Chain A
Amino acid sequence: MSAEFRSTGAALLEAHRSGASCWPAAEPEEGSVLLLAAAPITGRDRAYREVWRSYVGIERVRTVFEWMSARPEEWDLWGRVATLFGDSALHTIIVEAAEREAETAAIEAEEARLKEEERRLLSRKVELYILDPKAKRPGLSLESGHETKPFFVMRFSEKWERERVLDWLRWQKDRYLDFRDLCEAEGQLALERLIIAGMRETEAQMKAQRRTSGGRRPLRFWRGEA
């Protein structure tokens, strides 16, 4: 909504008239909102007349004026309401409604902010899940706190294979956010390769230090230490 200033002693902020016979205006310094109508008298500085004026305070004048300006389809009706029922009727319709809407908008904005904050906090949490569905292959997944579906799923033919990976992966919590970034950037396969490579590297290191257990799960008793 474009607006213009017109000098009438106090700065007068007017909404773009767009052909309506009435249009809103405001005196920000005075804290008043107005409804103006084209005056039949021409050749004067003020080629309009005040249909309605209401003092709303300097701090609220912009809010009410913008609310009025955003409803050009209502301007002529407001002009008639002011003419037929007086200033108080229009005050109820405009000022109280604008303030109600501003309050609602503020509440909604705060709710949205809190929701986004919660989402932001949850997004920093990544959990490791063990998948043991009936009659299906065992697996593991990584899931962000703000999502309902895992961003990474890894399936295995046998449970011991999954346990072997878990022996390493459950000690990589600090890297889960990096894992998610990699998965989003390069896909699940890249993350799967990273996990397998990391596991094998650690197994090799632990084996060299003779700290592995025997059997199919070399890192079974490993606790993430270097």
Chain B
Amino acid sequence: MLVAEGFTAAGPCLGLGLPLSLRGGDDEALATLSAGLGFAWQHELRRVIEAAIARTKSERTPWLKLPPLLLLGEPGVGRTHVARRIAHLASLPHVSLDFSDPAGVQQLWPQVCGPDLLLPSLPVLAMALGGCANPIVSVVGIECLEVATQHRFAAFIEPGSAARHVDYAAASTVDLTQVNWMVQCSDVSALAPKLLQLLRPVELHRPDVQTLPLHVVEVLAEAAIDLGVVERLQHQAGDALADLCQVAARRSTAEIYEHARRWLQTHCQ
């Protein structure tokens, strides 16, 4: 897919002028996503993903396009974990945009400041560096933006404006319509109505006592993939699970992930 149209003689930079791949929609990727999705206790999430898989199959589009998701749930419930797992299963690049950090706003709307280099916005960078037109972009801390800024952000998601996103650093107009947005939020009342109506809400829940091991095994898999030790973990998966399950109760997903990383670094590296 050609995503960028240059408005200088040099054309789009960072290879954006070349066709980018659209991923996650072939039979193998859909089968991997369908069989490997997990999250048995996240019924709403599973419904949304399964509907997207079914739509991709019925429309015969060879790439995965999720509706822009609003992942609702208390901090620590595993929103970023969900985004990263789906990205891994669908073989899509993933980036995080954190608005709770002032640098996050700069990542979306870079500004020239003295000698600082003007960079493309984060979704454009993800597309260019991932060579993929439909990356997953996790958005954290949306509540930290003022209503007017949220309206500006909505332009990245709204199909009409997203198709003609002007990026001065890339010297091009970039089509962002295939980007898979996952906006995280714990207080829906803090969202601007215009943004809210563009997003498909998905309520995420903490696992209960019975499903906690299922949550732990997903986080362990994420950490093992990140460290590249899935193969080495094979004979120790039981020990790792037993150790993590002991500490997982009442811990956030990020804390479980950190514990899993430490365990893997100690035992598998």
Contact = CB atoms under 8 A, between A and B. Distances in A.
A37 to B, nearest CB: 9
Contacts of B236: 92
9 contacts: A21-B40, A81-B217, A81-B241, A84-B36, A84-B217, A85-B224, A85-B233, A88-B234, A92-B238
Contacts of B210: 73
Interface string B159-202: 00000000000000000000000000000000000000000000
A173 interface: no
Interface in A49-86: 73, 76-77, 80-81, 83-86
A47 interface: no
- 4 nearest CB pairs, A to B: A89-B237, A93-B238, A84-B221, A88-B234
A92 B241 CA distance: 12
Contacts of A85: 221, 224, 230, 233-234, 237
Contacts of A80: 38, 214, 217-218
A88 B235 contact: yes
Contact of A89 (B35, B213, B214, B238): B238
Given A83-B38, A93-B241, 14 more contacts: A21-B40, A76-B214, A77-B241, A80-B214, A81-B237, A81-B241, A84-B217, A85-B221, A85-B233, A85-B234, A89-B233, A89-B235, A89-B237, A92-B234
Contacts of B40: 21, 76
A77 B214 contact: yes
A97 interface: yes
Contacts of A92: 234-238
Contacts of B241: 77, 81, 93
Interface residues of B, number: 20
B218 A89 contact: no
Interface of A: 21, 73, 76-77, 80-81, 83-86, 88-90, 92-93, 97
A85 B224 CA distance: 9
A83 B40 CA distance: 14
Grouping DSSP codes into helix (H, G, I), strand (E, B) and loop, the A interface class, with mixed when no group exceeds half, is helix
A88 B235 CA distance: 6
Contacts of A89: 233-235, 237-238
> Taking chain B's interface residues, is the majority helix, strand, or loop, or is none over half, making it mixed?
helix
Interface string B240-251: 010000000000
Interface string B33-45: 0011010100000
B235 A83 contact: no
A83 B36 contact: yes
Nearest to A49: B35
A86 B235 CA distance: 10
Nearest to A80: B217
Contacts of A86: 230, 234
Looking at A76, A85, A92, the one whose CB has the most chain B CB atoms below 10 A away is A85
A161 B235 CA distance: 75
A73 B209 CA distance: 11
A97 B241 CA distance: 14
A29 to B, nearest CB: 28
Contacts of B233: 85, 89
Contacts of A81: 217, 237, 241
A89 B229 CA distance: 13
A72 to B, nearest CB: 11
A68 B135 CA distance: 41
Contacts of B218: 80, 84
A93 B36 contact: no
Contact of A93 (B214, B220, B221, B237): B237
Q: Which of A73, A80, A81, A88 has the most CB of B within 10 A?
A: A80
Contacts of B35: 83
A92 B35 CA distance: 22
Contacts of A76: 40, 214
A85 B40 CA distance: 17
Contacts of B235: 88-89, 92
Nearest to A88: B234
Given A21-B40, A83-B35, A85-B224, A77 B234 contact: no
A149 to B, nearest CB: 44
A89 B217 CA distance: 12
Contacts of A93: 237-238, 241
A90 B233 CA distance: 11
